[in-house]
Amino acid sequence: MFEELKGLVTEKTNLKSAHIDRVSIRETLRIINSEDATVAKEVRKELPYIARAVEFVVSALKGGGRLFYMGAGTSGRLGVLDAAECPPTFGTPPSMIQGIIAGGYRSLIRSREGVEDDISAGRKDIRRRNVRPGDVVIGVTASKRTPYVLAGLAEAKRLGAVTIFISCNPRSMAPKEFDLAICPVVGPEVIAGSSRMKAGSAQKMVLNMISTASMIRIGKIYGNRMVDLKAASEKLRERSKRIIMETCHLSYVDADKALGRAGGSVKIAIVMAQKGLSRAGAKKLLLESEGFVHRALGEKN
Report the catalytic residues: 85, 116
**How large is the C-alpha radius of gyration of the chain?**
22
Q: What is the distance between the alpha carbons of residues 51 and 57, in angstroms, rounded to a whole number?
A: 10
Helix (H, G, I), strand (E, B) or coil at 211: helix
Q: What is the distance between the alpha carbons of residues 226 and 216, in angstroms, rounded to a whole number?
A: 9
Write out the DSSP string of 124-189.
Answer: HHHHHTT--TT-EEEEE-SSS--HHHHHHHHHHHHTT-EEEEE-SS-GGGS-SSSSEEE-----S-
Phi-psi region of 7 (alpha: psi -120 to 50; beta: other; left: phi over 0): alpha
Report the number of secondary-structure helices (H) and strands (E) in the chain: 14, 7
Q: What is the distance between the alpha carbons of residues 171 and 120, in angstroms, rounded to a whole number?
A: 26
**CA dist list (Å): 164 to 5, 90, 131, 150, 264:** 22, 23, 14, 11, 36
